[in-house]
A and B are shown apart, each in its own frame.
Chain A
Amino acid sequence: MKALPVVVAALVAVTVIRLALRGRGRGRSSPISLLVARLRGRRLLGDTGLVAGREIRERLRSLVFRVVTVILFAVVAAAVVIPAIHSGTTKSQRVAVVASSASLEAELHDLAKSVGLSVEFVNVPDRSQARAALSAGQLNMVVDGAGEILVKNPISASDTSAGARYVRAVSVTLGAQRAFAQAGLTPEQAATVANAKPLPVESIQPGKKARTAAAATALLGVILIFIVLTQYLTWTLMGVMEEKASRVVEVLLATVRPTQLLAGKVIGIGAVALAQAVALVAFALVLAKAVGSSLVHGAAPLVVAATLVWLILGYAFYSWLYAAAGSLAERQDQVQSLALPLSAPLIFGYIVSLTGVSSGNASLLVKVLAYLPPTAPFAMPTLVGFGEATWWQFMLSVVVSLVCTVVMAIVASRIYGTAVLQTGGRVRLRELVPTLTK
């Protein structure tokens, strides 16, 4: 069972690498080239669809895309599998009881549950055979009703594994019970003493909330959104810039309208981004299920859905901006001065949300940022992770983001239409003022 997730992850990684390498040789029969051939036959959305189709084909074919995909899958596999392996070393304890009684077995069962283990009782005819089974590694512990506990290896005081804690708990509890019996307590009195609960300790400052499974999922979601957005927005920017630099945009705009070209690019790259994100999430969910990770428990599926929704909305909002910025430049060095102001809101939203998730509290800042389209893609899934967003708050933020995206698309199309044909140095924003006020 321990090896299963590793095997699954390895299989996926090998498959992805094989796909990537096969495509490099331009083999006509690879699944990617079959997909390419199929996409080529379609003419959805007219010219916009053709442009989008080209973007999808070129992305799927690029080595950078394949390498990044392989790395992302590996990272997701590690993020899901490693914590699960750590948390659940041995789920079940094999225990043999000599001179057993029903109440003793019930006691052992309850104690196992209290340290997060289950217990499996093994029948042994006598003590010597129990010892033999223990030394052969078939048992974790032998409990003698007469008052003895056997384990194979000594348990050090610093061992905090569930198995060690179980042995200690059994030893303490059974010892106490024997003491109660020797003190002559009635079973009722013994039960009262045994069930003694510590007095609650209350602090006057609110403490950190324990991180729930949903918040942990939100953390992964926010990181995923950041990685995917950064990656694909950069591609949008560079893609537009390269079309301008290579002057192919002149040939294209001689027959296609600027808005169609821009929309095709945004949709094409966005489709690849979404497909990659969905594949990663699906992979993470299947893997989490297989290894029994907490990522799929409780409100986590809701957070997964919110993550995907905001990935789309975030990309839709920013892609226009990045495409318009790409149309201002025709060389890499001209992009540098644009990159920082563009990525600042992204990084800000990401850091604030990440800090919020790690601190265990949704700060007021996160709650505000959840309604601003540039930061909402990070802040809103964080709120969902904390269970602090009602459905109408979520929808409100979605609507605000959609409206702003439409405005952004209109402004970006105008900037793009003018700037992408303007060559000779970076286009200054003030040169575009007449275009925007037209």
Chain B
Amino acid sequence: MAGVLELDGLSRQYGAVTALDKLSFCVPSGQVVGFLGPNGAGKTTTMRAIFGLTDLDAGSVRWNGAPVGPAQRRRFGYMPEERGLYPNMLVAEQVEYLGRLHGMDAAAAAAATRRWLERLEVADRATSKVEALSHGNQQRVQLAAALVHDPGVLVLDEPLAGLDPTGIDVIGEVLVEQAHTGRCVLFSSHQLDLVEDLCESVAIIDHGRLVASGSVDELAATGARRLTVRVEGDRQGTWARAIPGVKVSEADGGEVRLVLDDSTSSDVVLDAARAAGRVTQFLFQRRRLSEVFREAVSR
């Protein structure tokens, strides 16, 4: 299963508020794409637009080159930000019902429901009402509902929010596995460390515009150079603060993390460090995703 989900020039205006501003990016199959942005950046609006739940002023969503309509959406799986399940319905019946609405026959939906509830470790709650489940278990059921019909595209709004580490592991594994078996997987999150672990690539938006995108590796390797320096006897990195073109981004127990301007040579930093004391560590470092994010949205 291969394909690509393309978002092309999506625009949406709510009165004076621009929710989406010619937003374009692709979600290729085979990798998990993290969808990042500050609160109110337009992530949820984008995801809703993929499912036709928000009218667009301009732009289109395509899957494998064809405009996305009701027929394509049957092959998509969606997990909305504010979870959507019937509180009074039994877990298995609910998942099965959603499978059938996506075109499965009764037997296939029942079998897939059993499989997914087991995979997501909530099979023992199959005959409970959804409202009787804990937040984390409801989230697992919600993911089962998004996966039950074996979708080609998975769009998940904050699937990891509020989960315990076990829940994150289980859901994270499933997302990676889905991507590696050829699905397009797009998920939004504010937990950037988790995104860095799970995603091959990211799209970062702000004020409805794409501000950065690409593979996590590439994004980490680009941008301003970073150094971590450890000088004996120094804990706050005061020696570095006076160097022109150098910013102290973190000073954590003696390890000082520095961001260098293009014009600043690392030699200058090394000289300043030596002048402050014995240098025990001097390392060039990749950007962390959180740094990529902060730099992208502060522009």
Contact = CB atoms under 8 A, between A and B. Distances in A.
Interface of A: 26, 40-41, 43, 47, 50-51, 54, 58, 62, 242-243, 246-257, 421
Interface stretch (B79-87, B201-209, B234-242, B291-299): B79-87
Contact of A253 (B51, B76, B86, B97): B51
Contacts of A51: 101
Contacts of A242: 86-87
B48 A250 contact: yes
Contacts of B62: none
Contacts of B87: 242, 246
B102 A255 contact: yes
Contact of A50 (B70, B89, B100): B100
Nearest to B96: A40
Contacts of A41: 106
Nearest to A249: B84
A252 B99 CA distance: 11
Q: How large is the interface on B (under 10, 10 to 19, 20 to 34, 35 or more residues)?
A: 20 to 34
B114 to A, nearest CB: 15
Contacts of B70: 255, 257
B101 A50 contact: yes
Interface in B49-73: 51-54, 70, 73
Contacts of B102: 255
B84 A247 contact: yes
B88 interface: yes
Contacts of B105: 43
A250 B97 contact: no
Contacts of A248: 84-86
Nearest to B88: A58
Q: Is the interface of B mostly helix, strand, loop or mixed?
A: loop
Contact of B101 (A47, A247, A421): A47
Contacts of B80: 247, 250-251
A54 B84 contact: no
Given A58-B89, A253-B51, A246 B84 contact: yes
Q: Is the interface of A mostly helix, strand, loop or mixed?
A: helix
Given A251-B98, A257-B70, A421-B53, A246 B85 contact: yes
Contact of A251 (B52, B84, B106): B84
Contact of A247 (B82, B88, B106): B82
A88 B73 CA distance: 67
Nearest to A256: B101
Nearest to B70: A257
A40 B84 contact: no
Contact of A255 (B74, B89, B106, B127): B74
A253 B74 CA distance: 11
Contacts of A247: 80, 82-84
Given A41-B106, A254-B76, A256-B101, 6 more contacts: A246-B84, A246-B85, A247-B82, A253-B52, A254-B51, A254-B73
B155 to A, nearest CB: 9
A185 B31 CA distance: 119
Q: What are the nearest 7 A-B pairs in CB distance?
A: A247-B84, A254-B51, A248-B84, A251-B84, A247-B82, A250-B80, A254-B78
A4 B264 CA distance: 103
A43 B107 CA distance: 12
B145 interface: yes
B124 to A, nearest CB: 15
Interface in B75-134: 76, 78, 80, 82-89, 97-98, 100-102, 105-106, 127
